[in-house]
Structures are given as C-alpha cells and as structure tokens.
Structure 1
C-alpha cells in the first residue's frame, strides 16, 4: 500500500513505502535488517553511522535484533533517543536505560543522552541542544513510533511548546515539551528532537502495530494537519526516504 500527504504545511508531498509484516516479531526482524544495511552503507561512505531511535514496545525488539547482527563496527555507530522523559537516569521511566539495554550486545556503540543525570528539565534542554549542535550532520536513519493521539517522539498535540517544536524555521534541534494532559503512565516533562531535526535524515522509519494505529496514521497522511496529528509533519518529509512499517 502507498499513500501521500497533503502538502499544506511543508510545501512538499511524500510517497511513503509501506512494509507489512504478519507479526510484531517479524516487524522487528525486518526493521533490524534495514537498520543494519543503513549502518553498513554509512560506515562504508563516512566515518560513522548516526541514528536517532525511538523507545517503546514496538521498536525496542528491533534494536535487540540489530545488536546481534554481524559485520557492523559498533565503535563507529552513534545513537541518540528521539525523545526522553525528564527523570533521573536511574528512573524506570528513562528511555536511555531501555535503549541501552536493547543495544547491550552492540559492543562499542555510543549512545548520546538528551537529559542531565538528575533529569532537570531546563538544564536538560540546554544540554541536549549543545550535544546536537556538536553533531549537526544528517542522521543516517530516524526511527519513530506513534501514539494513539498521533504524537511522535514527544511532539504531543495540545502541548504549549508544540508549535515551536514543529516550526521548520527553528534554530533549535531539541526542546522541552510538557504534554497536556500529562500521560498518567508517564507524567513527566520531556525533551524532544524538533521536527526540523528529525527531518534532517537520509531515511525515516515509522513503526506501528494494530489496526487502530494504522487508522490514525492513514488519517494523518490524508489530513496533513500537523497540529492535530503531529506525526503528519514527518510523513511529509521531502528529502528523506520514508518507510512505514506495520504489523497486526
């Protein structure tokens, strides 16, 4: 299945490539194969491979598959979370810990944090911007999930900072976001990569499971309304090759 987005918000129209799998397990394996190929190609062409990786139940199994794949010089691979909850690094809700655990077998990989060790939101926002300023080159791949409300990374509809985070003219690579309302399962401020920084990539991979989320994604593709469906802004990426991965 292929689709396109309304170009009202970005002036561009993207044609995503759909990848459908029979199960979440097959999705994880398929995504891992694509990420492995991206890393190998990047390392053949450049000094390092540079990845932005979402957390969450859907993409994390793919990273475990990826970490076990041969032929990747992990010492030349750098990864950063697409977003992070403003909690201490030892907190169970910390995305950094989940990402590190999933990539445990990728010996030598560097994982860049977006937050200070104590999770202070304002200090973390400044810290994240400095870290990303030092690594301004395009990502080789960005992996994103999507919530039932069409948020991606921590670009939450209704957040006071959403317009700033969606602004494609911004000079910021990362911002603090306060979801409104705060999700009861994770009631924390976040640091998120901005839409502009997420779009500075060679490939975009959006991963979802279930018919309900597929419906949300297809409505976002059709509407292009980035404030109601923040995922729409990455679905409109004019420069990156856009992949949509789905399983029941």
Structure 2
C-alpha cells in the first residue's frame, strides 16, 4: 500500500494538474498500446479537470471513457453520470463512451449490461479517477449497503455490482451500478480527488484504519497499489 498526496492552493489548481496528468496518460497509452481507457468518477470535484482534458488535442477516437459507477436512471435524466460526462467531453470529437446502464436505467438489465461490457474490456484501465463522499464511500461503494462486502471482496471475480445505498441519498434516491473494488484497482494509475477539510479528516481516518465496511475508500487506500491523492481546500 502507498499513497502520494498532492496538495493544491485551490480547486482550479487541482483541476489543471489532474487534467495535465490525464493528458499525459492518454498520450502514453495510445503510443504504447494504440488506445486508452479511463474510468471516471462523477461528482463535482473532478469535472473541471474533465472539461480541461476535453479541450486537449488528443486522438480521441482511440479513447474509451467509462463511469466508475452510475445511477439507474434513463440516460437523459439529470442524475445520469454518463449524461454529464458526455457534456463535459463534447469538444473531444470521436471519443467513445461505455455505459454501465441500460438506456432506460432498468437496474437488472443494467447490471447484466455492465458485466457483459466489462468482460469485453477486461484489460487494465489506463487511469481510474475516484472521488469520496463524507461517509467515505467511493464510486457507489456505500457503507451499510447490501452487497457491499461482495463488491469489496478482492478474491471475487465479479467486476460490477448493484448497490442500493441505505438510506438512499435524498439528492439522488436511485439504485446504482458500480465497479467492484477489484476492478477499480485493475488500473495503471489511480487518482483520488477530494476538496475541503471535512473530507480530508475522513480521508485521514480511513488511512489510519483498515475497515472498508465502515470506510469503503480504505479498500483502495490499503490495497497493494500506489494511489495519487489530489486535495485542495
């Protein structure tokens, strides 16, 4: 386990630095393997970086973007991560999106679709970008949720799970499809983005303990990988 922390003066500096790192990752992946695949978190913190990345002159037709998790809603619903991702990457002509959910968001069909999709994209992600909630959830690995233990089980050969947070968040009361912890860790580069002192305190608690059922982000932090942490006020 290892983590490297990068502290920034503000969220704009975080976004600029993360976008530059992702640009380099995409260029190197295309040069080495002919394509790049990124798994990207939703939420407010990373989207300025995505918009900056989308403005870069890259071979976007060689890039696939996948959400790390998705709400089981129709793809035109305001709560859909894929919808927001498509808007952020609108300038990236030719980029391809891999959806974890069915067009109408049906949970069971979405879970089947996600598992089929991931079986077709079994290679390591070139980069995974994660966020973290005040309850220490990452992707849709929520503490207390049914199937959380299975989704955190590194020995379980399943890439995606349906997660129903308990209680459902008032701002987004929907079932979710999430990549498992093992699939999130199957990556050449892992980036965790957080802002604010409150989340920094949660991060410190997760770093100090190893209880992923209480702090799901701990499953990432205490894995035998290097996690790059990007944090600002």
Match of 2:56 among 47, 55, 69: 69
1:200 equivalenced with 2:186 (yes/no): yes
Provide the secondary structure at the position in 2 that maps to 1:172.
coil
Question: How far has the Cα of 1:107 moved from its partner?
Answer: 1.0
Question: How far has the Cα of 1:227 moved from its partner?
Answer: 0.5
Aligned residues between the structures: 233
Q: Which residue of 2 aligns with 1:86?
A: 72
On the 8 A contact 2:2/2:224 being kept in 1, the answer is: no
User: Structure 2: which 5+ runs fail to align?
Assistant: none
- Of 230-239 and 21-30, deviating more is 230-239
Q: Which residue of 2 aligns with 1:8?
A: none
Task: Extract structure 1 runs of 4+ deviating beyond 2 A.
Answer: none
TM-score normalized by structure 2? 0.98
Match of 1:153 among 128, 134, 139: 139
Q: Which residue of 2 aligns with 1:58?
A: 45
Question: How far has the Cα of 1:236 moved from its partner?
Answer: 1.9
Match of 1:34 among 12, 21, 31: 21
C-alpha separation in 2, matches of 1:102 and 1:165 = 28
On the 8 A contact 2:193/2:231 being kept in 1, the answer is: yes
C-alpha separation in 1, matches of 2:223 and 2:51 = 27
Q: Deviations over 1:64-115 (max 9, x none)?
A: 0001112x21110111000000001111100100011111111111110000
Q: Deviations over 1:118-149 (max 9, x none)?
A: 10001100100000100100001000000000
1:190 equivalenced with 2:176 (yes/no): yes
Match of 2:108 among 119, 122, 128: 122
Provide the secondary structure at the position in 1 that maps to 2:165.
coil
C-alpha separation in 1, matches of 2:30 and 2:130 = 22
On the 8 A contact 2:39/2:65 being kept in 1, the answer is: yes
Q: Deviations over 1:7-27 (max 9, x none)?
A: xxxxxxx22111111111111
Question: How far has the Cα of 1:237 moved from its partner?
Answer: 2.8
